[in-house]
Structure 1
Amino acid sequence: MVIDPVARRTDGESVRIAKDVLSAGAVTKVCLPEDAEEFDRALARRGARRPVVVGDDRALLRAVSLLHRRRELADCVLSVVPVGNVMSLAHSLGVPPGPVAAARTVLDGVVRRRDLLVDDSDGVVLGALHIPPPGDRPGAARARGGPADTPADDAPAGAGAGRDWLRTCQSLVRTLVARPPRAAGAAGRRPVRLRVEVDGVTVVDLDRPVEAVTVTPGAEGRAQIRVRPLPGPGAQAAPLPAEGRTVTVSGAHFRYRADTEISGPVRTRTWTVHRDAWALVVPQSTPG
């Protein structure tokens, strides 16, 4: 049993409950790593024991990523007791909420093999891939105080009153001047120009901007792809569905979110489905 340090800090009571339930039902060895490196070492030194990860989605992803890099994932059966702040991925994979139900699943559940998306830099996707990441909008850096903003400490002495007066005038002008209408979908994700190819066939090309691309591991070694083109004025664009074993996205530099991790920018990336690449213990009633 590898207990993620973040889980211990976030919800020590749930960790204690899970440990008690597991210890009462099986012979366990408890590992309490203090950081990510110790977490990796504990998992790598598991021997013939089945690893149980007590932690959030990031701990689960870390375990799968480590086992994949060591080429030990196919021969390992993982169990997880979700504890922490971000646990939607584990729950979407069939792991029940609550430390008692999840711990009992570790003891009495069944093994389900699952497909895995692996990119050309050896990154893994268990649940879903989003391009661009949700919430990635133009102007976001400036809204968070990006380079366009001048820190107050850098302003010349005595300039505060003048700066406040200027900002008031600018605000009044923005209020009075009519803004041009936004294109449909502009309030959502940043439109990007990408080429999306599935098994070598182009689904959308650079001449057609898109709002979002979503890729999820499907069934029988095939990924489910959904491309959402940018709608035109007054018209909705129908999503473009596709499925296949490999997905290549290229074009302008883009960022992407794989489960909980945001990566990029990159100019091109290819994801390949690995069929039945990993195994997770889930309740017996969970569909395969």
Structure 2
Amino acid sequence: MFDVVLLTLGSERDAPGGGCGSGGACCGGADDRADGATTEDRCETPRVPVLACADAFTARGARVETVTARSDAEIDEVLARLDGPPRPDGLTWPDPDSKTRLVVATASDAQLRAVVRRLVRRYAPPPSRRPDDLAANRTVPDLPAIGVLPLDPARSTAQRDLAAQLGLPRDPVAVATAVLDGTARRLDLLRNDGGSVTLDGALLGAADDGGRPLHWRGRVEVDDAVLTDGEDLLVACAIGNAGGYARLDDVALLGAPDPTDGLVEVAVAVPVTTRSRWGRRRVRLEVRRARGRAVSVLPREGKVPFLDDGAEGELGRKRSWWTEPGAWAVWTV
């Protein structure tokens, strides 16, 4: 028999004087917003899918508990149930044979990212205590698999959230079936030196109120390849683990990002002015792409707005992302 925890992220707006902007779990926590980022997730989470999923688990004989976490500390209390037995080295490690299943009810990819970020914080050993049984290409062990319950299926499908990209079930009963009878699909994880993680991808750049792109400059490197040295004007830079940021309007930025290949795909869009044979000026976007294990972005002038798994922020200093192959997992049929 499995113990199932159905975790919903609330916010401090549920408490007197609180609000989503105050750094509650709905927003991924204050340390998940780099360089003054602000996140506006939908904090009012529908109860109907959660109750339907809980009923489906109960009908299968599972013991179910629903929890609403409004802070990182409350998320951590839930994740502690996934801990393995004490290790001789004293590290906190996930239990690979755990009979506890975690299902995250998500209103956005940023909420799912908030839970995975806390998993990384819990189980990643400090560099000075790196154990011998940790894979050479990883800084975290295999994180426990997560069941994903989208709370707004119609809206999420239209926006191609991560669950839709991965082909995960969206119906509450189907989610319960996947968690109890399915398999754990291991996926790559992007960690960054700001202390957070990326599940889907990031898009750097913005547009003005009229929808016109705002140009910026920055040095972008993928492993040893330099996509731009900081002299080019850029419209956007896409960092893809999955395919959520693969297009910019009608322009294909990323080729075929794969969250299971151990690589990050990166693209920059550079406006190039050309002249026709009749002397007319035209601007087209030149897209430069590269794939590798790590990417760094160094803004040259001021701060660059970005979206990272749907969370908004501004990048004002160098930021590096690197791939953790197969580090996290989802339950799927």
User: TM-score range, shorter-chain basis?
Assistant: 0.7 to 0.9
Q: Is the 8 A contact 1:53 1:60 kept in 2?
A: yes
Q: Following TM superposition, by how much is the alpha carbon of 1:26 offset from its aligned partner in structure 2, in angstroms?
A: 4.1
| 1:80-122 residue CA offsets vs partner (Å, 9 max, x unmatched) | 1111486422222322222222222222222111111111122
Cα distance 1:220–1:55, how it changes in 2: closer, same or farther (>3 A)?
A: closer
Alignment of 1:24-43 (within 5 A): 24-33=59-68, 35-36=70-71, 37-43=73-79
* Corresponding residue of 1:268: 318
* Corresponding residue of 1:166: none
Q: Is the 8 A contact 1:211 1:230 kept in 2?
A: yes
Higher RCO structure (Cα 8 Å, ≥6 apart): 1
1:235 to 2:283 alignment: yes
Structure showing greater radius of gyration is 1
Q: Is the 8 A contact 1:249 1:269 kept in 2?
A: yes
Distance 1:207 1:9 in 2: 44
Q: Is the 8 A contact 1:196 1:248 kept in 2?
A: yes
Distance 1:10 1:222 in 2: 34
User: What are the ranges of 5 or more consecutive residues in structure 1 without an aligned counterpart?
Assistant: 141-185, 284-288
> Secondary structure in 1 aligned to 2:321?
strand
Cα distance 1:34–1:246, how it changes in 2: closer, same or farther (>3 A)?
A: closer
Match of 1:74 among 123, 139, 142: 142
Would you tell me which structure has more helix in proportion to its own residues? 1
Match of 1:45 among 69, 81, 96: 81
**CA RMSD for the aligned pairs?**
2.4
* Corresponding residue of 1:149: none
Q: Following TM superposition, by how much is the alpha carbon of 1:2 offset from its aligned partner in structure 2, in angstroms?
A: 2.8
Identical aligned pairs, as a percentage? 26
Q: Following TM superposition, by how much is the alpha carbon of 1:131 offset from its aligned partner in structure 2, in angstroms?
A: 0.6
* Corresponding residue of 1:56: 107
* Corresponding residue of 2:229: 205
TM-score with structure 2 length normalisation? 0.64
Tell me whether 48-57 or 223-232 shows the greater mean CA deviation. Answer: 48-57
> Which AA in structure 2 matches 1:30?
E
Q: Is the 8 A contact 1:4 1:59 kept in 2?
A: no
Alignment of 1:102-121 (within 5 A): 102-121=175-194
> Secondary structure in 1 aligned to 2:213?
coil
Tell me whether 14-23 or 214-223 shows the greater mean CA deviation. Answer: 214-223
Distance 1:112 1:74 in 2: 11
* Corresponding residue of 1:150: none
Match of 2:330 among 268, 280, 283: 280
User: What are the ranges of 5 or more consecutive residues in structure 2 without an aligned counterpart?
Assistant: 11-41, 84-97, 125-140, 242-257, 274-280
| 1:8-66 residue CA offsets vs partner (Å, 9 max, x unmatched) | 95322221111111121242230323523423322233453121222323332121110
Q: Is the 8 A contact 2:203 2:238 kept in 1?
A: yes
1:250 to 2:291 alignment: no
* Corresponding residue of 1:226: 267
Distance 1:225 1:26 in 2: 45
> Secondary structure in 1 aligned to 2:112?
helix
> Which AA in structure 2 matches 1:98?
D
> Which AA in structure 2 matches 1:198?
V
Would you tell me which structure has more strand in proportion to its own residues? 2
Distance 2:288 2:231 in 1: 15
Q: Is the 8 A contact 2:298 2:319 kept in 1?
A: yes
TM-score with structure 1 length normalisation? 0.73
| 1:197-248 residue CA offsets vs partner (Å, 9 max, x unmatched) | 0103211122111111111123431111121112424031331111011101
How many pairs does the alignment contain?
Answer: 234
> Which AA in structure 1 matches 2:170?
P
